[in-house]
Chains A and B, each alone.
Chain A
Amino acid sequence: MLHPALTPARGPLARHGTLAVPQSDDALYQQAKSYLSRDPVEAKLFRALEHSPDGRHYELSINNRNDDHFDPNDDEIAWDPYSALRTTNGGKQSPALGLGHEVDHAIEDPRVADRLRNTPDPCYDNAEERRVIMGSERHAARALGESVRYDHGGRTYRVSSPVTR
């Protein structure tokens, strides 16, 4: 446990059903969600995130370290809203698409996600990454005119908004 003096200060949270978002960053979340929800698959993911049927409560944490991840140990989604991705093939993906990627991991049945994560995959590292990248991420990328990935790679770069690439 962190010493109290080292515990990061937490500001007020905006509640979206079963998702809590730092109020100071809520506009960034809303912008990304609105953009991604033009794709019906992504819209469904966000509905599941905000209205979790199994009682899970999620928290979105914002960073500026190019760090997008989902941690099932505390149901935290970490997201850098200014971190875009250059794919291995030279394509570009917005920060918003990174959020969508992590939301798909978050709402997956934990037992299924666990089984898939423990299954190696030669192209996507594990079967859970394959499921997300070839599934919702690819669908949204095509619907929104972004680049698709054929692996779990890419290099981050900075952009001016969650929907820029």
Chain B
Amino acid sequence: MNDMLLAVAISVTGATRLEIDHVPNNVSYRTALSPRDLDGRARIRIESRDPAAIARIVAAIEHTDAAGDAAQADLRYAIRLRDARGATCARIYLDAFGERGLVDGRRVRFSSDAIKRAIVAAFPSLRN
């Protein structure tokens, strides 16, 4: 798969609500966590309607490139953006480093860890 701009693959411009699930990065699991594992084992759940925080995270998504990746990453962050009606605009999973993950079900390697940095800056409890 060629490099793609995440904003092309997903539609985040109308997002008004943000949900993030997180499994702490220092907890070691026998196998890499899948989306289903992460959804079931999250220890931190954040929900926000703060327009400024959402705008910063959407900007990070829009400025991050991603390329296809063959391997399954050990997922630690699940980010869901919703529009005003509650419909999901995007579902993005990140590994502990913010460098690999899933975008709408596709395994990807991100061009930088900007999305992780944006969510940690907005919600410091996601740092570890």
Listed in ascending order, the chain A residues whose CB lies under 8 Å from chain B are 65, 67-73, 85, 98, 101-102, 105, 113-114, 117, 120, 122-123, 125-126, 128-129, 132, 151-156
Contact = CB atoms under 8 A, between A and B. Distances in A.
Contacts of B26: 71-73, 114, 117
Contacts of A65: 40
A98 B30 CA distance: 6
Nearest to A133: B30
Contacts of A154: 30-31
A69 B24 contact: no
A126 B29 contact: no
Contacts of B32: 125, 151-153
Contacts of A126: 74, 96
B27 A69 contact: yes
Interface residues of B, number: 19
A85 B30 contact: yes
B64 interface: no
7 contacts: A73-B26, A114-B26, A117-B96, A128-B28, A151-B71, A152-B31, A156-B31
A132 B34 CA distance: 20
A117 B96 CA distance: 9
Contacts of B27: 69-73
B127 interface: no
Contacts of A151: 32, 71
A99 B87 CA distance: 41
